[in-house]
Amino acid sequence: MTHSQRETERKYAAPSADDTSWLPDLTGVDGIASVVGKGFDELDAVYYDTDDLRLAGASATLRRRTGGDDTGWHLKLPSPGDSREEVRAPLADTVPDTLRDLALSRTRGAELRPVVRIWSTRSPRHLVDSEGSVLAELSLDRVRAESVVGATTRASWTEMEVELAEDADSVLLDVVDTTLRKNGIDRADYPSKLARALEETGMGALRLPDRRPEIVIPGSAADEVLRYMDEQVHTLVNVDPAVRRGLPDSVHRMRVTCRRLRSTLRSYRAVLDREVTDPIRDELKWLGGELGAERDQEVLVERLGAGIGASPRELVLGPVDARLQVWNVARASEARQRTLDALRSRRYLALLSSLATLTEQPPLRRKAARKPEKVMVKAILKEYARLAGRVARALELSPGTERDAALHQARKAAKKTRYATEPARASLGKPAGRLGKRIKAVQRMLGEHQDSVVSRGALRNLALAAHAAGEAGFTWGLLYGQEQAVAEECERQLPATWADASKPKLRKALVH
C-alpha cells in the first residue's frame, strides 16, 4: 500500500551543523512566531537506480530509508518549481512492486539496484506561527555518502534545507530565502543529496548523456524539432505514474502527448528519417488507441451525466441515473484494464526506449541542418492544405452519416496542423501562434460535433436497453434530440469559424 504527499523545499549550503552562530534568527519573519528545536534524527538511506542512472537522469530518486518518522521506501518524482511528489511504501527488503511500476517509464524495465548509501544526522527545527501551527521545517544535516558500486568511495558535507508544511503558503519560502541570503547563506549547488553523492563519489560518470546530440547544429531546424520532441517525451514519462494511479486528466494528457509526438514525426519528415520514425509513429498510434478506450469513456459519461443533471427533474423519467451508472461501471472497468495492460507491456517499454534513442541519436536528414524558418513553414502549409481540402469536402456534403465522418477526418487534420505550429513557435514567433490559435478554434468545434455523434450512438443504445427492461425511454430520446441540435449548431457555425482560420494573411505572416 502506498500514499503520496507533495514536498516543497529548498536546499542551502551550511558552514557547520555544530556551531550554528551563522544561522539567523527567523523569529518574526512572515508570521514565524518561534523556532522550536526537535532534537536529532539518525537517517540511513540506500538509493536504488539502474546501471546507467536512468532515475537520476530523469530527476527522480528511489530510496530505502530507516530512522526518523518516515521509515520505508520513498519514490520522489519531479514537479514544477521547488516541489516534488513523494510516494511512500512500507519498509521491505526489496523494491515494492508498486514503486517499481511507478518508476517504469524512467527505468524502461532495467534492473534496479543499490548505487549509493547516505547517512544523515539531522537536527530539525520547526518554524511555528502564533497559534502553534508548523509553517515549515528547517533541518541541518551532517551527511556521509558511500558508493555501493565498484570500489568504495566516500564523501561528506553539511547542508541545510527548508521544507514547507503541506498546507502552508509557498510565499513563506521566498521570504525565508531572502532572509537567509541577506545573511550570506547561499542556495546549495546540488538539487538533492543524491546528486551530490553521485558527483563526489565518482558515480556521476554513469549519468545519461546530454539530450542535445553533438550532430545537431544549434539554431537549425533539427534543433527546434528535437527541443519540442524532448519536451513531449519528458511529458509522456512524467505523466505515466499518474496514469497508473488513475489520477484525474492523466489519461487525457498522455493521449494528447502521443498525438503531438506522432504529428511532429509526420509533419517534420524532412528533418527526421521516416524509415526510423514511421515505426515509432505506429507504436504511438497503438498506445493512443489503448488509452482511447478509457479517455473516450470518461468524456462520454461526463457528457451524458451533465445532460441528465441539466434536465428539468420532471423530464427525467425512470431510473436514468442508475442505468447510466451501471452502463459506465462495466465499460469503464474494461477500459481501465486495457490502459494498465498497455503500460505493463513489453511493447510500451520498447516504445519508451525507441523514443529515448530517437532524441539521443536522432536520424537526421539533409534538411535538418537548414534554418528552421523555411523548413517549418513548408511543413505547416502542407498540413494546412490537407486540412483545407478536408473541410471543403465536408462542407459540400449533405447532413448525415457521410458528412459526420468527413467532419471527423477534418478534425484530425486540424489537430495535425495545429501541432505542426507548436515546434515552430520559437523560430516563427507570433504568426505561428496566431495560426495555431485559429486552427484550434476549428478543432474544438469539430470536436464538439464528434462528441455529439458519439453521444447519440450511446444514447440510442441506452434507450434500447431501457425499453427492453420496461423503463421509460423519454429522457434518453430528449438527450438525443439535444445532442442532434448541438451537432446542427456546430455545422451552422463551421463556415464562419473556418473562414476566420483560413484567412490568407495568417499564412503569409509565416514567411515574413
Residues 44 and 97 in one domain: yes
Distance CA 22, CA 39 (A): 19
Measure CA 365 to chain center.
30
Residues 413 and 312 in one domain: no
Residues 159 and 177 in one domain: yes
Mean pLDDT across the chain: 94
Distance CA 71, CA 74 (A): 9
Looking at residue 211, what is its pLDDT? 54
Which stretches of 183-256 are assigned E, i.e. beta strand? none
Distance CA 223, CA 423 (A): 10
Residues spanned by the domain of 297: 216-365
The domain boundary, picked from 160, 182, 206, lies at 206
* Contact (Cβ atoms closer than 8 angstroms) between residue 102 and residue 85: no
Looking at residue 205, what is its pLDDT? 46
Hey, which residues does 194 pair with through a beta bridge?
A: none
pLDDT tens-place string over residues 77-129: 998 888 999 999 999 999 999 999 999 999 999 999 999 999 999 999 999 99
Distance CA 2, CA 96 (A): 9
DSSP summary character for residue 39:
-
203 confidence band (pLDDT: 50, 70, 90): confident
- The helix or strand, by DSSP H or E, that contains position 36, with its residue range, turns out to be strand 34-37
Residues 290 and 359 in one domain: yes
Residues 347 and 393 in one domain: no
Q: Cβ neighbours of residue 190 under 8 Å, at least 6 residues apart?
A: 11, 196, 199
Distance CA 439, CA 395 (A): 17
pLDDT tens-place string over residues 419-442: 999 999 999 999 999 999 999 999
pLDDT tens-place string over residues 145-177: 999 988 889 999 999 999 999 888 889 999 999
Residues 19 and 33 in one domain: yes
Terminal alpha carbon distance of the chain: 58
- Rg of the Cα atoms in the chain: 28
Residues 241 and 200 in one domain: no
- The helix or strand, by DSSP H or E, that contains position 331, with its residue range, turns out to be helix 320-343
Number of domains the chain is built from? 3
DSSP letter string, 280-311 = HHHHHHHHHHHHHHHHHHHHHHHHHHHHHHHS
Residue with cell 530517437: 358
The verdict on residue 200 lying in a domain is: yes
3-state helix, strand, coil in the chain (%, to 5): 55, 15, 25
CATH of the domain at 257: 1.40.20.10
* Contact (Cβ atoms closer than 8 angstroms) between residue 270 and residue 374: no
The verdict on residue 211 lying in a domain is: no
What's the predicted TM-score (pTM) here? 0.91
Looking at residue 387, what is its pLDDT? 98
